[in-house]
Chains A and B, each alone.
Chain A
Amino acid sequence: MHSIPGRRLIMALFLIFLLLPIYWLVNMSFKTNAEIVSTMTLWPHTPTLQHYRRIFTDESWYSGYINSLEYVVINTVISIAVALPAAYAFSRYRFLGDKHLFFWLLSNRMAPAAVYALPFFNLYSAIGLFDTPWAVALAHCIFNVPLAVWILEGFVSGVPREIDETAFLDGYSFPRFFIKILVPLIASGIGVAAFFCFMFSWVELLLARTLTSVQAKPIAAIMTRTVSAAGMDWGLLAAAGVLTIIPGALVIWFVRNYIARGFALGRV
């Protein structure tokens, strides 16, 4: 591939620009609050784990992570489960209204969350799901289900049709073919789709905050509470932030070649 002059320098500068703010957050999470406020230090001079210890021992903090994980996992499972058959249908068949349905799904992926905040609040209060992980999980389906369908459709289309036909000739029923043959063939695609469902549900704040109050409050909402409270606990805030980055940072290596694809809804 052809590149441009000075590419190493450009790349290095850009990567530093990306990493510096993250480094600053990590740096602050290991400092004592006294050090943060009193002096400007480029690295923690008296490194401490007190903020992390506080998060892992104080229930009002660590329950936030558990609540977040709860709805994120429920949402990922629902999204993948309903999207798999649909992706197969879109990839293999033409049916009445298929294009309209595809567009409708896309338009929901793009709908502003702010528009849905209030009606969701009413809807989930009315059916008694308000302040449960299910409310947030179902609400996040609005953008994750379309996303999963689009990504999986690309992967299913990569499986040659002859495989379906051979399986049916061999006497496989449709459900058995689906589970025994198709799912293993697109396992990496399912992994990628699950990763993106997980990520988009994990990073969303507005709906998660609107649909919960006490019992199911996500970590993101707990963090914003700290911001508005008097007497900022900067170190604690930074530590909580660092911990939310970790799930993404852990799996990023495995999906590095699929990032563009996931964000472009499987179209790249």
Chain B
Amino acid sequence: MDKTINQKAWFLVLPVFLVVAFSAVLPLMTVVNYSMQDTFGNNQFFWNGVGWFKELLDPSTDLGGRFLASLGRNLFFSAVILAIEVPLGIVVALSMPREGWSVAACLVILALPLLIPWNVVGTIWQIFGRPDIGLLGYVLNHLGLNYNYVSNEVDAWVTVIVMDVWHWTSLVALLCYAGLKSIPDAYYQAAQIDGASRWAVFKAIQLPKMNRVLLIAVLLRFMDSFMIYTEPFVVTGGGPGNSTTFVSIELVKIALGQFDLGKAAALSLVYNLIILIVCWVFYTVMTNAGSERPVKQGAA
């Protein structure tokens, strides 16, 4: 690339560095500090070494059991929503109208759920799913299904998953649509001349061209669903029992509910480490794919 080497550029980056360091590095250091200590209140701290980490990774202890159970639930949740949202997003992107005002209308409606505050997303589904006042719960119960997300674990899971599909499928669809739009018409004309079937067009032209955006979509969706907190917290509060308690909900319970600083800090670090690894994959994918693609950067 034609970037010039200029160390003075650090002065331009310095404000960002300071702001982010203040809100990221300082807190992270306190977390590391806490994770090695135990407290009995009164601000008295005792050295505990790697004790919390050992406990965290041992399923027979209370902390380890809770962490590993919530981690398992969270991974299962992420897997399910990816399995639903990615194919559905592709189908929706392929169903976008070709031109005219309906394109803009579809884009606006698709984007709507993405811009709703997360707790309101929870509120919407909390209301929508209630058997007494919500349309969904009412209709399902009148069809003879005994649906109640407050008391039934399976129903709670279904509600949380459908809510996430409602909330985020649009993102996958919009990303795929952006990928599809960058395919030149000539490709389709060539396919037509060759007499390619629709499936062949999808497999040989559209899917390869969507590769990069799909990777971004999968990684973004994985990371966001892995950190999900607000929406299930509002709808189910992690219940019934612990059935929808994901890692973030567990962590907040330990940190702000019980004020168990050491345990919470150890959990935070392990949690952060997992995210960091996925993030590194994401970064490598994005920067590598970016260098193969010289055109279409700037203001679109």
Contacts and interface: CB of A to CB of B under 8 A. Distances in A.
Interface of A: 1-8, 10-11, 14-15, 17-22, 24-25, 28, 36-37, 40, 42, 78, 81-83, 85-86, 88-90, 92-96, 98-99, 101-108, 110-123, 138-139, 141-142, 145-146, 149, 154-155, 157-159, 161, 186, 188-189, 199, 202-206, 210, 220, 223-224, 227, 234, 237-238, 241, 244-245, 248-249, 252-253, 256-261, 263-265, 267-268
B115 A107 contact: no
Interface stretch (B44-52, B53-61, B144-152, B166-174): B166-174
8 contacts: A89-B9, A112-B227, A115-B272, A220-B119, A223-B123, A249-B112, A260-B178, A264-B175
B241 interface: no
Contacts of A114: 227, 229, 247-249, 251-252, 255, 268, 271
B298 A264 contact: no
Kindly list the 3 A-B residue pairs having the minimum CB-CB distance in the complex, ordered from nearest: A158-B298, A248-B115, A119-B27
Where chain A touches its partner, the secondary structure class is: helix
Contacts of A89: 9-10, 12-13
B17 interface: yes
A265 to B, nearest CB: 8
B68 interface: no
A120 B27 contact: yes
A141 B19 contact: yes
Contact of A241 (B26, B107, B120): B120
A252 B115 contact: yes
A205 B230 contact: yes
Given A244-B116, A248-B116, A82 B111 contact: no
Nearest to B299: A158
A88 B5 contact: no
B166 A21 contact: yes
Contacts of B183: 1
B157 interface: no
Contact of B127 (A28, A142, A203, A245): A28
A14 B13 contact: no
Contacts of B251: 112, 114-115
Given A10-B91, A112-B272, A154-B297, A93 B4 contact: yes
Contacts of A157: 297-298
A264 B213 contact: yes
